[in-house]
Structure 1
Amino acid sequence: MNQVTRKAYAKINLGLDVLRRRPDGYHEVKMVMQTVGIFDTLTFRKGQGKEGLPDISLSVDSKELPCDKGNLIYRAAELIMETYGVKEGVDITLKKNIPIAAGMAGGSSDAAAVFHGLNKLFGLSMSLQDMQKLGVKIGADVPYCIMGGTALSEGIGEILTPVAAPPSASLLIAKPDINVSTKFVYENLHADTLKEHPDIDGMVKALQEGSLEGITGRMGNVLETVTIKKYPVIRQIKDIMIANGAENALMSGSGPTVFGIYTGKERAGEAYKAMEKLGLARQIYVTEFV
């Protein structure tokens, strides 16, 4: 096999809670993660090694992203090839579609695709657990992205429990023309002073029961307390989605992307037109749960 192509799906957080800041600086979280139908496409081709060492070549169709160790794709490939003693080279091409710096784990999802892609390309026989154990060295969201689907995420994001998928629904996803630093958001979050926390346990129960109303009624993200204060447009987008028929709307991750859940594609399509007309978001999608 000389070529492998993988889709890297974006994620949203149906619920995101931060319990505390740990002594090591990481934050302990409790959240429900969900993949959605927006994806990047990565193609892997076998290349030539250099002087007995693996050679990694990365090509990206976005000027916003680096093609060296500053990209999680490159770092994931390097880690895998060093760990498993791969001597052949690899040429990786990324077709970017997931919004960048958007709170949708685009970089982590791309890195996860590298694990699946190189595992198949080089016949490494990594299990899902092997990939996740190695993937956490690249980023806290990578183990989830390797697994995908619907999951309860705890610890710093690496403790994962699969849960029942939500019932089918349409999603409107909108990213305003701003980029948000995850580091900034967490540095300015004071978890010990939060007055309200989303009902993550109740969310998991609603998922198990297949209750869309139970899910939308429990949507919450404590990081909004930081990001919306700095970028009020996020609140505006949420309000517009709800005013145009969303069961509820929420910021994903550290933002600035907002998603609204709709009971029908037609209703989501109408909300898309309203959002597009107002010009508050640069990237807008109608999609669904994956």
Structure 2
Amino acid sequence: MKNIQQIFLDEILLFVEETGKSVELNLIAQAKINLNLNILGKRSDNYHELETVMQSIALHDQIKIIANPISQLPQDLGSQILLESYLADDKVNRTAINNNFDDLNEIKSNLIYKAAKSFLDFFQIKANLKIILKKQIPISAGLAGGSTDAAATLKGLLILFNYLHINPVNKNNFFLSSRDSCIKFKELLPMAEKIGADVPFCLHQGTALCKGKGEKIFPLQSFALRPLILYNSALPVFTAEAFKQIDAKFFASKQLDSQSLIDQYNLQLNRGFSIMNQSWQNDFTDFLLMDHPHLQSVIDLFKATDADFVRFTGSGPTLFAFYPSYTARDLAMQILSKQNLPGQLISTYTSNPR
């Protein structure tokens, strides 16, 4: 018999399904764009100091986390994570990887695996997990496709653990732990930062000013429900390589008035694209256009279809273009689709946490 429970977490309604044989949770992992991206300099730890406004968008991956009974594990095995992934339009699985913590070194770079392993290790939990990814977000595209999957995994495991803690009859069947209290959201943040620079934002989502490596999050006024088109050229750009191309000066740390900066960005968001076009840039633009000069013609095409604001997101190579209305976006999508551009056009909109 199935038991479906409603869970509220930070105003997100989720459903935990308990079948008796497993406990399951479905989550949405939203992509992000960088409305601007300023590289302030290179730090003494070799990371770059950033100042960027990130925005969640409706484009998303889907993740199902299944906690199976621990009793099904071999006696000599600790926790186990099974990963399965496929593209959203595939009828059959593209990849199915069964692994435990000691096998398959190549999968240990997978951010879902890293997130799940970090969670279980940090909270000293034994579990028998299966995580299924339905992939829609392009990879290596500046959209946080891996980071948002990791963030959703952390959040999902927190929800499942807390659900079983509140409903303790079957807790030790699925999560074996000596912890006697629920896990708090803020406890995920140190793990998120270690997994990847965009993971903290993907945990928070919404509209936010991000500083440091991206881990310092300052929420801004909502910029949701704005129609846009993404263009992914299918030419992957790896962030580490992109940063090597940036001739950044040494960053001298200084005390800043964060509230003044937040107020400044909120004012600019409120004034909209007229001021954003003047002062919001992506510092990877010159590098991206030098390496991929054909993308300038795509920018010109976006502008020719009356886009209000066109920028690269992250280290690229994905471009995004905002339009004044959903009707204008849909008309532009029709026009652009006839251009036979190599790569992928995606119609979406900005969307705060779901």
TM-score by length of 1: 0.91
Q: Which amino acid aligns with 2:79?
A: P
Aligned counterpart, 1:57: 82
Q: What SS class does the counterpart of residue 131 from structure 1 fall into?
A: helix
Report the CA distance shift for 1:69/1:231 in structure 2 as closer, same or farther (over 3 A).
same
Paired position in structure 1 for 2:195: 138
The answer for the alignment partner of 2:139 in structure 1 is 100
Q: Report which of the two structures shows the higher radius of gyration computed on alpha carbons.
A: 2
Indicate whether 1:44 and 2:65 are aligned: yes
Residue number in structure 2 paired with 1:223 = 284
Partners of 2:224 and 2:282 in 1: CA distance: 21
Tell me the distance in 2 between the aligned counterparts of 1:185 and 1:101: 11
| Aligned 8 A contact 2:33 2:143 in 1 | yes
Cα displacement (A) at 1:210 = 5.6
The one of 262, 268, 274 aligned to 2:323: 262
Quote the sequence identity (%).
30
RMSD over aligned Cα atoms:
2.1
- Partner SS state of residue 194, structure 2: coil
Give unmatched runs, 5+ long, in structure 2: 1-17, 88-92, 98-106, 166-181, 251-260
The unaligned stretches of length 5 or more in structure 1 are: 194-199
Residue 205 (1) aligns with residue 226 (2): no
Contact 2:273 2:309 in 1 (8 A): no
Letter in 2 for 1:192: K
Moved more, 279-288 or 15-24: 279-288
- The total of aligned residue pairs comes to 283
Which residue among 89, 103, 109 is the counterpart of 1:70? 109
Change (3 A) 1:281 1:217: farther
Query: 1:12 maps to what in 2?
Result: 33
Going from structure 1 to structure 2, the CA distance change for 1:64 and 1:162 (only over 3 Å counts) comes to farther
Residue 182 (structure 1) aligned to one of 211, 233, 239: 239
Map of 2:212 onto structure 1: 155
Distance in 1 between residues matched to 2:193 and 2:94, nearest whole Å? 24
TM-score by length of 2: 0.75
Range with bigger deviation, 12-21 or 236-245: 236-245
8 Å contact kept, 1:76–1:114? yes
Per-residue deviation, 1:132: 1.5
Q: Given the alignment of the two structures, is residue 170 of structure 1 paired with residue 231 of structure 2, yes or no?
A: no
CA 1:32–1:139 in 2, change beyond 3 Å: closer, same or farther?
A: same
Distance 1:130 1:155 in 2: 19
1:274 Cα deviation (Å)? Answer: 2.3
Partner Cα distance (1:16, 1:10) in 2: 16
Distance 1:65 1:71, change over 3 A: farther
Partners of 1:178 and 1:64 in 2: CA distance: 21
For residues 312 and 183 of structure 2, what CA distance do their matches in structure 1 show? Answer: 34
